[in-house]
Amino acid sequence: LRTILIGPPGAGKGTQAPRIRDQFCVCHIATGDMLRDQVTKKTPLGVEAKKIMEAGGLVSDDIMVGMIKDQLENNKDCKNGFVLDGFPRTVPQAEKLDAMLAYRHEKLDSVVQLVIDSQLLISRITGRLIHPSSGRTYHREFNPPKNPMTDDVTGEPLIQRSDDNVEALRKRLTVFQNSTGPVVEYYKRKGLWHPIDAAQSPAVVWDNLRKVFTNGS
Ligand code: AP5
Ligand code: ZN
């Protein structure tokens, strides 16, 4: 399976992608998680990306394409395929991805858009808690951890993302509309686009995702 999850901040990409990974034995490439990892490690890229991410902007296409290329070439878990979460976010990123896949004689199966009214995203984003090293995601209200502020698996502390505030969210939504909107059109033209209602519960969204991957409808 080679698929892409597209959706605005808080649509549920990071919630659903690990289910796809586990069910279809593919790798989950989450560019936001990879960047946050660089920020934590204070690498030169991390130092640069931190400011951009906190402001809700986009890291450069060249850097992001390089990260994906490295994953496709070197991540052994990607042998059976992949689910991309957070990439491509611009048309040039989508074009570069096409070129990389063509070179590898591989093809995308589907591009799934998690469609949701932006009204609903504020509470999802401001209530989100994450476990930084695994990328596991919780929500204070909608998906609380077993113990307050600790990860269910490791018991390590959960944190709030530094871009999960109303101001940065507003910028991220505008960027999604302006830069990622055209990516949706790009995949519609290629006949790969499948919209899914992302306002449903995580279990219902997952059911509908599975239908796309098994029936292609
Ligand atoms: P990234 O990490 O990709 O952030 P994002 O796109 O803003 O998406 P989110 O992670 O906020 O949302 P999600 O859809 O994963 O939601 P989640 O499942 O967690 O990118 C961050 C930044 O990195 C970017 O702003 C940019 O600066 C940079 N970047 C990354 N990729 C880049 C690229 N390709 N090019 C350039 N720059 C790039 O769910 C949210 C919350 O809601 C959770 O608490 C969850 O528990 C809850 N929830 C999920 N589903 C449901 C449901 N069905 N019902 C109720 N609650 C739910
Ligand atoms: Zn995410």
State the Cα–Cα distance between residues 51 and 197, nearest whole angstrom. Answer: 32
Which three-class secondary structure state does DSSP give residue 89? coil
Quote the CA–CA distance of 175 and 132 in Å, as a whole number: 24
Q: How far apart are CA 5 and CA 111, in angstroms?
A: 6
So what's the pLDDT on residue 215?
Answer: 79
pLDDT for 150-209, tens place per residue? 999 999 999 999 999 999 999 999 999 999 999 999 999 999 999 999 999 999 999 999
Backbone angles phi and psi of 126, in degrees to 5 = -75, -20
Give catalytic status of residue 161 as yes or no. yes
User: Any binding-site annotation on 69?
Assistant: no
Predicted ipTM > 0.95: yes
- Given a cut of 80, whether residue 23 has pLDDT beyond it is yes
Pocket of ligand 1 (CB under 6 A): 7, 9-15, 31-32, 35, 52-53, 56-59, 64, 86-87, 89, 93, 124, 127-128, 137-139, 142-143, 172, 201-202, 205
The annotation status of 15 as a binding-site residue, yes or no, is yes
